[in-house]
């Protein structure tokens, strides 16, 4: 039994139920209002209806065990109640006024049975429950009919009839509960999506309400006498029959339609089947056919292949034949062609070469007939004539037409000589528009093979250029002469006897002649003193013998007048056309000025070397372009590098700078480069040959070219000694300063201590002073008003304050003396236990809250001790222990005697000492950070410390902040 809420009917059922609940509530309210009998509902019925509606509302959602228990209880109660009502009715129908009518009771009986079955939640009870509900609704229906049709049986007995609202309520309840499971059990057919379900749903209201309406109509007709009873009955029967007919019609239609559809689909299926079979058959047939065709094709193919092979064989034979024919044909053609070509070439060669020679040469050729007319001429002749005269050569024209008349006679004579068989060559100048031209003309006779004279041949060569170049050559010679004369060199030519055959201006002027001619023919012997000339002549002879040149030999020449000149001389042998030495060319360059400068330079250099030797600096010259460095001997004396040694820092010597200074050095250098600063001075450490470093002062000069550094020259001065000395000095100053500061700090501490002492002491003294001043003032003021006892008490108080101040003063004085070394232990024989007990009692007097617990462990009786110092120690420790124990816990004193020393332990459970304060704990006027609000001088523990020291003992302290402190004093025992 599921899917309740999902069903479309469920929602209307719930709404109906809710409306029911509301209206029932209204009806219950109506008990207090007078209403017509017909619409009044008995209270019991109303309450029952209400309860059932509520159960229904809860049905879908609250199907838990508790709900079911409650619902079952209500249903059971209803069963019993209605049963008892029915019984009571049968016992005495008039007895009870307010009760459920029998019809209603009956209806409720059925409904409650149904609900009980539904609550059991079993499928097999569902149908039964539905039947019960249908019966219940029928009862309600009858009740409704009773009202509608005014049934006398019901109206007769007043209490039989259920009220109209009761009937409606019961009907509604039944409807609702039926709708709970409207798609299950006997209601299931109504709820299908099939045609039957649809029909049932649409006809059900008609089936229920149509008879009601018809019955009502019939009764109206009867009551008001519209028609007879028989007509009414027929009306009912008719209407029912028509209703049933309609239903029958629709059922038939539905069933028929369904059958028809089924049959149609069967038929269609069969048809499809047949079609399929046919298709299969056809498919089979087609495939068979295809196979047959395929076979046929195969056989055809084979045949075709065979014939094809045959054809191709034939074809090959034909092709081979054809090829043979073709080749034969080609060979014949080639042979004939070659033959023709050869003939042609032979002819072309003989004729063509001659013609081409004539046409392409620059020489002009003219061939004249015996009557001096032109028989033939070449291109050069035609061009030359045209250029010179502007006339065109024509075949058959007279040669004289192209010549000036003045030359005719001369030319005729030449031709006559030629006619006699002579070959005549002559030169002729021809004036042309381009200037005078020179021609070399050769005229010769022309004979046939039979030696018959047939004409003249004139061959003409243009010699103009030749003539011009000769002229230029002589010009050049002149030029050369001028150059030689003006060279700043002494240039001369000597013959084999060392006689001058040529001399330039410099040479003859040097030798004191005005012209060249005066000098020529003279030998060195004539010109120089014997010692100079001998050497010179030997040199000359050497050159002539060996044929080797002397190049740039440096010599000193002395003239006859005694003047000394430095020369750079070169002597080069001179050959004639047949490669024989015919003399020499001498070049002497006066280098006297250069030599003088060199001498000066050497002197300067020597001086510089001396200077650099005199200094103790390492001077360097660093070519920044090639990165080649030069050092003086300083690099050896200072750093131990040998100047000549490759180990010396010849290249980038920044690599020798101490690694710590290197970055600084490079940056400085770079900055200088960027800013183009010339002077570079800085200190750094430089590596020596043995690996150690020396402090050097670098002073250098940077030379720039085009904004780039090209050379750095400078000196490294060894300042190690100075630097080390300075560093030592600095260290010494720092040490002295520190000592001074330490002393100052110590002084300051003393001053601080003093001021601290003054402030604390003043406060500590003021307190007792105040009390004294108050008390004395009091005594003075009220002298007469107070009695003797009171006065005595006040005086005692003053005494007490005075003694307190005295002890305070004693403390300070004692400490002062101890600091000054003016106190010494006063050893005396003391019995220890009474001394300690006395001190404890004294302390105990001041404090009654905190007790001192004493523990004795093997304590010696008599010892040598200074009781006063001992008192200082113990009294101060105990006082402190009590003073700084705000907790109120007792103080423990442990006295332990050991072999040669005494141990005093004072332990408290007080506030403890902050660890920061422990180091200064025993210094005078030092107080813990946590005791500022507790009075004290800060003297106690320093007195303890001093006393312990005076007794030759030790003291140590262990303390935890907030938990307490323990002081342990160890004193040596001097026993007798």
Partner 1 sequence: MQIQTFSENHQHSAIMAKLILVVDDTPDLLEGLREFLQMEGYEVVSATNGQEALDVLDAMPVDLIITDLLMPVMDGFQLIRSVKQRDDFRNTPIIVFSAKPRHENVETLLQIGASKFVSKPSDLENILLSVKELIHE
Nearer to partner 1, 163 or 801 (CB): 801
State the minimum distance, in angstroms, from the CB of residue 881 to partner 1: 16
What lies within 8 Å, CB to CB, of 18 at 6+ separation is 53, 57
Nearer to partner 1, 350 or 849 (CB): 849
Total count of residues recorded for the chain: 976
3-state secondary structure 65-133: HHHHHHHHHHHHHHHHHHHHHHHHHHHCCCCCCCCCCHHHHHHHHHHHHHHHHHHHCCHHHHHHHHHHH
Nearer to partner 1, 338 or 773 (CB): 773
State how far the Cα of 660 lies from the Cα of 422, in Å rounded to an integer: 108
Nearer to partner 1, 915 or 935 (CB): 935
Of residues 896-955, those binding partner 1 (CB under 8 A): 932-935
What secondary structure letter does DSSP report for 423? -
User: Is 356 near partner 1 (CB under 8 A)?
Assistant: no
**Is the separation of the CB atoms in 871 and 882 below 8 Å?**
no
Per CB under 8 A, which region of 250-258, 453-461, 635-643, 793-801 contacts partner 1? 793-801
**Is the separation of the CB atoms in 92 and 56 below 8 Å?**
no
**Is the separation of the CB atoms in 869 and 889 below 8 Å?**
no
Burial code (b: 16+ CB inside 10 Å, e: under 16) for 208-223 equals eeeeeebbebbbebee
**Is the separation of the CB atoms in 714 and 619 below 8 Å?**
yes
State the minimum distance, in angstroms, from the CB of residue 774 to partner 1: 4
Instruction: Give me 19's structure tokens.
Output: 């409306």
Residue choice 417, 763, 853, 861 for contact with partner 1 (CB under 8 A): 763
The interface mask with partner 1, positions 123-162, x = CB under 8 A, is: ----------------------------------------
Residue choice 1, 217, 697, 774 for contact with partner 1 (CB under 8 A): 774
What lies within 8 Å, CB to CB, of 135 at 6+ separation is 110
Closest CA to 165 of 53, 82, 45: 45
**Is the separation of the CB atoms in 648 and 631 below 8 Å?**
yes
User: Is 785 near partner 1 (CB under 8 A)?
Assistant: yes
Of residues 360-389, those binding partner 1 (CB under 8 A): none
Nearer to partner 1, 541 or 759 (CB): 759
User: How many CA atoms, within 13 angstroms, populate the side-chain half-sphere of residue 813?
Assistant: 6
State the minimum distance, in angstroms, from the CB of residue 901 to partner 1: 37
State the minimum distance, in angstroms, from the CB of residue 770 to partner 1: 4
Query: What contacts 24+ positions apart, CB below 8 Å, involve 772-776?
Result: 772/798, 772/801, 772/802, 775/801
Burial code (b: 16+ CB inside 10 Å, e: under 16) for 12-49 equals ebbebbeebbebbeebeeeeeeeeeeeebbbebbbebb
Residue choice 260, 645, 773, 826 for contact with partner 1 (CB under 8 A): 773
State the minimum distance, in angstroms, from the CB of residue 922 to partner 1: 23
**Is the separation of the CB atoms in 114 and 132 below 8 Å?**
yes
User: Is 772 near partner 1 (CB under 8 A)?
Assistant: yes
Per CB under 8 A, which region of 555-563, 794-802, 836-844, 954-962 contacts partner 1? 794-802
Nearer to partner 1, 706 or 789 (CB): 789
According to DSSP, the β-strands at 628-631 and 550-558 are: unpaired
Nearer to partner 1, 436 or 781 (CB): 781
Of residues 871-890, those binding partner 1 (CB under 8 A): 886
State the minimum distance, in angstroms, from the CB of residue 805 to partner 1: 12
State the minimum distance, in angstroms, from the CB of residue 838 to partner 1: 24
Taking CA 911 as the corner, what is the angle to CA 910 and CA 913, rounded to the nearest 5 degrees? 120
State how far the Cα of 577 lies from the Cα of 89, in Å rounded to an integer: 184
Nearer to partner 1, 434 or 785 (CB): 785
State how far the Cα of 47 lies from the Cα of 50, in Å rounded to an integer: 5
State the minimum distance, in angstroms, from the CB of residue 765 to partner 1: 9
User: Is 777 near partner 1 (CB under 8 A)?
Assistant: yes
- Rounded to 10 degrees, the C-alpha dihedral 318/320/324/330 comes to 90
Nearer to partner 1, 419 or 766 (CB): 766
Instruction: Give me 476's structure tokens.
Output: 């050049």
Per CB under 8 A, which region of 89-97, 164-172, 321-329, 769-777 contacts partner 1? 769-777
State the minimum distance, in angstroms, from the CB of residue 920 to partner 1: 21
Nearer to partner 1, 72 or 779 (CB): 779
User: Is 767 near partner 1 (CB under 8 A)?
Assistant: yes
Residue choice 662, 778, 842, 961 for contact with partner 1 (CB under 8 A): 778
Of residues 842-861, those binding partner 1 (CB under 8 A): none
State the minimum distance, in angstroms, from the CB of residue 768 to partner 1: 8
Residue choice 398, 486, 766, 817 for contact with partner 1 (CB under 8 A): 766
What lies within 8 Å, CB to CB, of 494 at 6+ separation is 500, 501, 540, 583, 584, 586
3-state secondary structure 253-310: HHHHHHHHHHHHHHHHHHHHHHHHHHHHHHHHHHHHHHHHHHHHHHHHHHHHHHHHHH
Nearer to partner 1, 124 or 785 (CB): 785
Closest CA to 536 of 558, 515, 520, 514: 558
Helices 102-120 and 164-180: angle between axes, nearest 10 degrees: 20
User: Is 79 near partner 1 (CB under 8 A)?
Assistant: no
State the minimum distance, in angstroms, from the CB of residue 925 to partner 1: 15
Tokens 């009917």 label which residue?
9
Please give the helix or strand (H or E) that residue 855 lies within, else none. Answer: strand 852-857
State the minimum distance, in angstroms, from the CB of residue 814 to partner 1: 23
Closest CA to 913 of 931, 898, 892: 931
According to DSSP, the β-strands at 862-865 and 828-831 are: antiparallel
Nearer to partner 1, 665 or 801 (CB): 801
Residue choice 265, 770, 806, 826 for contact with partner 1 (CB under 8 A): 770
Per CB under 8 A, which region of 514-522, 676-684, 724-732, 776-784 contacts partner 1? 776-784
State the minimum distance, in angstroms, from the CB of residue 924 to partner 1: 19
Nearer to partner 1, 589 or 778 (CB): 778
Terminal-to-terminal C-alpha distance of the chain: 118
Of residues 471-530, those binding partner 1 (CB under 8 A): none
**Is the separation of the CB atoms in 915 and 961 below 8 Å?**
yes
Nearer to partner 1, 565 or 771 (CB): 771
Query: Mind giving me the DSSP string for 571-632?
Result: EEEEE-TTS-EEEEEEEEEE-HHHHHHHHHHHHHHHHHHHHHHHS-SEEEEEETTTTEEEE-
State the minimum distance, in angstroms, from the CB of residue 887 to partner 1: 13
Nearer to partner 1, 583 or 936 (CB): 936
Nearer to partner 1, 87 or 934 (CB): 934
Of residues 799-838, those binding partner 1 (CB under 8 A): 800-801
User: Is 113 near partner 1 (CB under 8 A)?
Assistant: no
Nearer to partner 1, 412 or 802 (CB): 802
Size, binding site for partner 1 by CB under 8 A: 24
Q: How many CB atoms lie within 10 A of CB 143?
A: 27
Residue choice 151, 769, 835, 918 for contact with partner 1 (CB under 8 A): 769
Nearer to partner 1, 330 or 781 (CB): 781
Q: Give the torsion sign (CA, 95, 97, 101, 106).
A: negative
Residue choice 16, 199, 454, 797 for contact with partner 1 (CB under 8 A): 797
Q: For binding to partner 1 (CB under 8 A), which residues are involved? A: 762-763, 766-767, 769-775, 777-778, 781-782, 785, 797, 800-801, 886, 932-935
């Amino acid at each position: 039994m599921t899917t309740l809420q999902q069903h479309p009917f469920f929602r209307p059922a719930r709404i109906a139920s809710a409306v029911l609940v509301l209206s029932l509530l209204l009806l219950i309210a109506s008990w207090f209002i007078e209403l017509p009998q017909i619409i009044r509902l008995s209270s019991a019925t109303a309450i029952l209806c209400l309860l059932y509606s509520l159960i229904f509302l809860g049905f879908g959602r609250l199907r838990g065990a508790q709900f079911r228990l409650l619902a079952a209880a209500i249903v059971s109660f209803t069963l019993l109640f209605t049963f008892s009502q029915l019984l009571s009715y049968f016992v005495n129908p008039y007895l009870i006024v307010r009760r459920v009518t029998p019809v209603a009771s009956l209806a409720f009986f059925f409904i409650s049975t149904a609900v009980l079955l539904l609550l059991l939640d079993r499928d097999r009870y569902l149908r039964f429950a539905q039947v019960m509900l249908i019966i219940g609704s029928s009862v309600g229906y009858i009740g409704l009919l009773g009202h509608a049709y005014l049934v006398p049986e019901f109206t007769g007995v007043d209490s039989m009839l259920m009220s109209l609202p009761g009937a409606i309520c019961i009907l509604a309840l039944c409807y609702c509960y039926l709708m709970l499971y409207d798609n299950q059990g006997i209601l299931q057919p109504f709820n299908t999506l099939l045609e039957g379900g649809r029909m049932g749903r649409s006809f059900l209201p008609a089936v229920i309400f149509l008879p009601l309406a018809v019955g009502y109509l019939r009764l109206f007709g009867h009551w008001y006498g519209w028609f007879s009873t028989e007509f009414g009955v027929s009306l009912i029967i008719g209407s029912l029959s028509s209703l049933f007919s309609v239903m029958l019609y629709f059922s038939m239609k539905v069933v028929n339609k369904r059958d028809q559809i089924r049959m149609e689909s069967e038929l269609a299926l069969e048809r499809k089947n047949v079609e399929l079979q046919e298709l299969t058959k056809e498919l089979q047939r087609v495939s068979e056919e295809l196979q047959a065709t395929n076979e046929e094709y195969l056989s055809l193919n084979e045949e075709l292949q065979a014939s094809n092979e045959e054809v191709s064989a034939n074809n090959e034979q034909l092709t081979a034949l054809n090829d043979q024919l073709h080749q034969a044909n080609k060979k014949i053609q080639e042979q004939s062609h070659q033959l023709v070509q050869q003939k042609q070439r032979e002819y072309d060669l003989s004729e063509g070469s001659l013609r081409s020679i004539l046409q392409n040469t620059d020489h002009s050729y003219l061939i004249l007939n015996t009557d001096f007319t032109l028989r033939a001429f070449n291109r050069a002749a035609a061009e030359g004539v045209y250029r010179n005269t502007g006339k065109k050569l024509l075949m058959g024209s007279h040669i004289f037409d192209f010549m000036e008349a003045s030359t005719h006679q001369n030319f005729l004579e030449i031709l006559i000589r030629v006619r006699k068989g002579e070959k005549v060559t002559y030169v002729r100048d021809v004036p042309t528009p381009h200037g005078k031209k020179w021609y070399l003309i050769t005229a010769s006779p022309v004979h046939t093979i039979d030696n018959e004279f047939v004409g003249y041949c004139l061959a003409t060569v243009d010699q103009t250029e030749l003539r011009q170049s000769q002229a230029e050559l002589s010009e050049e010679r002149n030029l050369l002469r001028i150059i030689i004369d003006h060279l700043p060199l002494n240039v001369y030519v000597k013959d084999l006897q060392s006689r001058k055959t040529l001399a330039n201006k410099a040479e003859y002027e040097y030798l004191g002649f005005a012209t060249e001619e005066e000098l020529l023919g003279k030998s060195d012997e004539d010109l120089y003193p014997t010692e100079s000339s001998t050497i010179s002549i030997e040199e000359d002879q050497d050159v002539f013998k060996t044929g080797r040149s002397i190049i740039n030999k440096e010599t000193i020449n002395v003239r006859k007048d005694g003047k000394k000149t430095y020369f750079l001389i070169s002597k080069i042998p001179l050959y004639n056309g047949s490669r024989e030495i015919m003399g020499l060319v001498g070049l002497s360059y006066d280098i006297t000025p250069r030599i003088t400068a060199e001498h000066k330079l050497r002197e300067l250099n020597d001086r510089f070397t001396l200077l650099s030797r005199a200094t103790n600096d390492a001077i360097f010259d660093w070519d920044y372009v090639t990165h080649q460095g030069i050092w003086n001997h300083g690099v050896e004396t200072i750093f131990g590098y040998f100047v000549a040694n490759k180990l010396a820092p010849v290249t980038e010597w920044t690599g020798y700078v101490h690694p710590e200074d290197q970055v600084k050095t490079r940056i400085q250098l770079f900055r200088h480069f960027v800013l183009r600063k010339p002077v570079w001075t800085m200190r750094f450490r430089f590596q020596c040959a043995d690996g150690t470093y020396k402090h050097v002062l670098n002073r250098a000069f940077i030379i720039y070219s085009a904004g780039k550094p090209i050379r750095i020259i400078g000196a490294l001065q060894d300042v190690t000694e100075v630097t080390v000395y300075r560093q030592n000095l600095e260290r010494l100053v720092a040490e002295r300063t520190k000592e001074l500061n330490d002393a100052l700090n110590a002084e300051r501490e003393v001053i601080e201590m003093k001021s601290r002492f003054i402030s604390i002491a003043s406060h500590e003294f003021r307190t007792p002073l105040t009390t004294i001043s108050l008390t004395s003032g009091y005594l003075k003021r009220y002298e007469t008003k107070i009695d003797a006892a009171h006065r005595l008490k006040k005086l005692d108080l003053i005494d007490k304050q005075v003694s307190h101040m005295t002890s305070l003063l004693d403390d300070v004085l004692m400490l002062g003396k101890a600091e000054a070394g003016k106190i010494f232990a006063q050893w005396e024989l003391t019995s220890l236990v009474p001394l300690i007990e006395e001190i404890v009692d004294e302390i105990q007097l001041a404090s009654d809250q905190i007790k001192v617990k004493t523990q004795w462990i093997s304590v010696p009786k008599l010892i040598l001790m200074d009781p006063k110092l001992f008192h200082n120690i113990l009294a101060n420790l105990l006082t402190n222990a009590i003073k700084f124990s705000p907790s109120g816990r007792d103080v423990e004193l442990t006295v332990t005697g050991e072999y040669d020393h005494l141990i005093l332990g004072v332990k408290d459970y007080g506030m403890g000492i902050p660890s920061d304060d422990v180091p200064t704990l025993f210094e005078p006027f030092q107080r813990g950070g946590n005791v500022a609000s507790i009075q004290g001088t800060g003297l106690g523990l320093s007195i303890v410390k001093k006393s312990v020291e005076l007794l030759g003992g030790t003291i140590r302290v262990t303390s935890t902040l907030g938990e307490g402190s323990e002081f342990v004093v160890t004193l040596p025992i001097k026993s007798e």
